[in-house]
Structure 1
Amino acid sequence: MFLLKKILSALAVPPFSLILLALAGVLLSRRHPRSGRWLAGVALAAMLLMSIPTVSILLMQSLALPPPITTAQLRGVQAIVILGGGVDDDAPEYGTDTVGRATLQRLRYGAWLQKSSGLPILVSGGSPFGSRPEAEAMKETLEREFGAKVRWAEAHSRDTAENANLSAAMLWPAKITRIALVSHAWHLPRAVPLFERQGLEVVAAPTAYDTWPRSYAERILPSAEALHRSSTALREWIGIAVQRLRK
């Protein structure tokens, strides 16, 4: 089911879905030239639109991103939970799997929160495709590179729902019921409810907001990064919709 979900997600979310739509338009144009060209044109126009930074940032902001955690909120929680965001497989410079860029951003912020609060940290991330468990790489990075102590490492989850379920199971024996949940700002609108369903009181601790470029040119010139941002936002909206239907 996990692999099927990943495949369906890849098929549904741009750019792959738009590429398939454009190819369908090319094939259709052999029998219906006008309709085929129109379909391919719509797909390419949509991909171009999603590659514009202004459009991608507006899509991100439509997710109702939570505000940064405050000092008062941080004082009211018992632990910091950091969610994994992917690994770099077989990184040659390290000689093993290591945390990816998204995970590193989350770890940096989690370490910063611990230094200002002294709260214990739980890292969560498994090994869905058989590589090194993400939580192990997260724990190693936090302790070696940031000097932050990790109390719990949940290394079996494959997605956000399992992050919530398995992390809660580790926290309950320690009587931890109130947490600060660290992840990307775009991820928390979907992640927070999943943790709350496990009976935890959750304060969002978002990081890595997508902010507006300073120059006008950077706001309007298409880029691969903007396309990736748009794709991420749409994937999160699909995930939120599915989550609400299940609820």
Structure 2
Amino acid sequence: MDLSLLLFWLKKLIAAFALPPLLPLLPIALGLALLGRFPRLGRIMAWGGVALGLLLVLPASVGWMVAQVEDPTPLPPTAAVNADAIVILGAGRREYAPEFGGETVNRLALERLRYGARLARTTGLPVLVSGGGSASETPEAVLMKAVLEEDFGITVRWTEGRSRDTRENARYSSAILNATGMRRILLVTHAAHMSRAQAEFEAAGLAVQPAPTGWLGDYDERAHDVFLLGGLPSQNSAYAGWFAVHEALGRLAYRLSR
């Protein structure tokens, strides 16, 4: 049995219970189950779960959570001068995509690829895509390469298809780049994921210039975005809350495992 694969799926299982929507549902369910024998404790837990669920979807609270994990600074125009390559991290796949002949990348990965393609076009730097999958799956990097080359007209020089998480993205990508003598990269990932990704790539020996994309918050002082200033919960605020909690837990897990 592959211990690393077992630990990977165990991590996925724990994450499912530690993230919305299950996260607030667990205390609600447990509280309701305790009402008969421990009514006071049961009510506290159930209403606590309701309160937690609201905090995870209300735009005001979600906006604060997002601000704690996102890198608000876009790539400076002159930052690419000293870079050797562009590294674009995968974010998942869409398995049922008959219009594309089978499967393709999901919308998160597509956001990263779109920005990475723009950087490649404007800088002329070579591109590495990073993302793996299970033994029975097409590596995500192969799907990413197809999107860049077929849809954006960008040639991919390196395809890293072994990694299953951010730490492995960094480990295997650095091995490829170090073999070519390249150490300075523009790292493309979501703004909320950038801090953790940058730390892992720097720990792997690369000099990283963050190139974030896909912000969930609005950091323009002139903006009056209902997402940050208040308003009713929506599918957008619920998704942003999930992403913020996911990233906060990812950072904690990586700190504990060092």
Normalised TM-score (structure 1): 0.94
CA distance, structure 2, for counterparts of residue 128 and residue 183 of structure 1: 21
Give % identity: 41
- Displacement of 1:199 after TM fit? 0.7
Please name the residue that 1:84 is paired with: 90
CA distance in 2, matches of 1:90, 1:31: 47
Q: Does 1:238 align with 2:249?
A: yes
1:90 match: secondary structure:
strand
Q: Aligned partners of 1:126 and 1:55: how far apart in 2? A: 34
* Alpha-carbon shift at residue 211 of structure 1 (Å): 3.0
Match of 1:11 among 13, 17, 21: 17
Cα separation, 1, equivalents of 2:70 and 2:189: 15
Unaligned runs of 5+ in 2: 1-6
Q: CA deviation at 1:95?
A: 2.4
CA RMSD of aligned residues (A): 1.7
Q: 1:134 aligns to what?
A: 140
Q: Deviations over 1:128-168 (max 9, x none)?
A: 37322111110000011111111001011111111000111
Contact 2:59 2:226 in 1 (8 A): no
Counterpart Cα distance in 1 of 2:225 and 2:89: 32
Looking at structure 1, the residues matched to 70 and 110 of structure 2 have their Cα atoms a distance apart, in angstroms, of: 23
**1:63-88 deviation line (CA, Å, top 9, x unaligned):** 25151111221111100000001100
Cα offsets for 1:164-223 (capped at 9, x unmatched): 001111111111100010000000111111011111000110001113485548942112
Show structure 1 runs of 5+ residues with no match: none
Deviations 1:93-120 (A, max 9, x none): 2221101000000000000001110000
Whichever residue aligns with residue 133 of structure 1, its letter is P
Task: Determine the C-alpha separation between the residues in 2 that align with 1:99 and 1:170.
Answer: 22
Q: Which moved more, 1:35-44 or 1:61-70?
A: 61-70
TM-score by length of 2: 0.91
Q: Equivalent residue of 1:153, what SS? A: strand
Q: For 1:19-168, list aligned pairs within 5 A.
A: 19-128=25-134, 130-168=136-174
Structure 1 residues 78 and 227, CA gap change in structure 2 (3 angstroms)? same
Q: Kindly provide the amino acid, as one letter, of the partner of residue 54 in structure 1.
A: A
Q: How many residues align?
A: 247
**Pair 1:140–1:216, CA change in 2 (3 A):** closer
